[in-house]
Amino acid sequence: MTPQGPKRPKIPSIDPDNYGMDLNSDDSTDDESNPRKAIPAWASGAQLSQAVIHQYYKPPNVDALFGVIKSPKLENIFYKNKPRYFKRTSSAVWNSPPFPGAKVGLGLPYSLKKF
């Protein structure tokens, strides 16, 4: 019998889509000038702008993604029942797009900031 050589350690597979972002990580994990992973092409430049515009004009069906979410009962959260909990003011109405004088960037009522 021929003796076997030493076993080679398994090289861990690297997932190109995993950026190691979790709730326990902080902002100091990567050096911005020398990141561990490159930013994907779809997440920068013209492709990002195109994806944002596409999502703006054809938004995803969030009810299909997350299900219908019930409004919380404030008396269950704060253990008190106050009349103001049931009064809805104008700040709670979100049935229309942003006002016509909003800052327009990329033809949208918002813009992406470049740093």
Question: At which residue do the structure tokens 């020398």 appear?
Answer: 34
Q: Where are the domains of the chain?
A: 41-67+104-115
Residue 36 structure tokens = 């561990």
**pLDDT by residue for the chain (115 residues), tens digit each?**
677 777 777 766 777 777 666 666 555 555 667 767 777 777 888 889 998 999 999 999 988 999 988 888 877 887 777 777 667 676 666 666 665 555 544 455 555 555 4
pTM: predicted TM-score of the whole model, two decimal places: 0.36
DSSP summary character for residue 6: P
Give the helix ranges, DSSP H, for 1-115.
Answer: 45-57, 62-66, 74-78
